[in-house]
Amino acid sequence: MSGTEQKSKIKTHAINLYYGAFHALGDITMDVPECTITAIIGPSGCGKSSLLRLFNRMNDLIPNAKVEGEAYLDDVSIYGPSADVVTLRQRVGMVFQKPNVFPMSIYENIVLSPKRHGIKRKIELDEIVEQSLMQVALWDDLKNSLKKPGLSLSSGEQQRLCIARALAVKPEVILMDESCSALDPESTMKIEELMLELAKKYTIIIVTHNMEQAMRVSDISAFMMIEEDKTGRLVEYSSTRQMFTHPKDKRTEDYITGRFG
């Protein structure tokens, strides 16, 4: 795993998220170093996925969602008046819980976004497909079957194809929302190995319910809880090693040892 002395890639300061009158996230302040894996953990409904979606403004797609506070990518405001959401989502890619492979060929799944960003030459698109599939260790298996439907792949291969699709537009940050929860143990292991390899070049933030996974792959962990006011808040944010061996907050200890949640 990467060290944690790198410059910050993403920062938030006292950021709040509302869905209409509902206060979903309260006063979240965190600093995500470049080329690390950060795991967001906590009980169901505490706002883990909402926090993840703040980083590429996916919450904008939800009616009546409102963000207050500050969030930065490379010290540039994510929510500032000059922020370009299309560019942001190119730089901050997302992989969802269930593989969302499009009903088209493996090749077309990967080149769809590069085409939208103006890349038209077949030689360039071919190179993007090869590089993206090589990064997720699928090129050797799929190079002779790129015209096959993406949906013909196994669940684990589909999820790696989704990661390849995210990599095709050369992001800097990859968000993964419980991306292994629907996979068998062998496929999960492959995705975890992939995360560790990708973290050499990319900043990765994952949401996971799997404490063992957080311990295996992450450099930093963020523990969230719903407080009495029903708002999701960040209870503890530290190196994963420290959190899982010497948590600062009794609630963190209770959660990671299985006493609640």
What's 192's domain CATH number? 3.40.50.300
Cβ(95)–Cβ(159) under 8 Å? yes
pLDDT of residue 126: 97
Domain that holds residue 140: 8-256
pLDDT of residue 73: 97
CA-based angle 222:193:99, to the nearest 5?
80
pLDDT of residue 129: 97
Q: At what angle do helices 106-116 and 155-167 cross, to 10 degrees?
A: 20
The verdict on pTM exceeding 0.85 is: yes
pLDDT of residue 153: 96
Is there a domain that residue 3 lies in?
no
Q: How many CB atoms lie within 10 A of CB 99?
A: 22
Domain count, the chain: 1
Cβ(207)–Cβ(178) under 8 Å? yes
Mean pLDDT for the chain? 93
Is there a domain that residue 122 lies in?
yes
What b/e sequence results for 121-142 when a residue is b if at least 16 CB atoms lie within 10 Å of its CB, and e otherwise?
A: eeeebeebbeebbebbebbeeb
pLDDT of residue 261: 56
Is there a domain that residue 132 lies in?
yes
Is there a domain that residue 142 lies in?
yes
Is there a domain that residue 261 lies in?
no
Is there a domain that residue 2 lies in?
no
Cα 258 off chain centre by: 24
Low-confidence ranges of the chain (pLDDT < 50): 1-4
Ranges of H-type helices in 18-84 = 48-54
Is there a domain that residue 1 lies in?
no
pLDDT of residue 182: 81
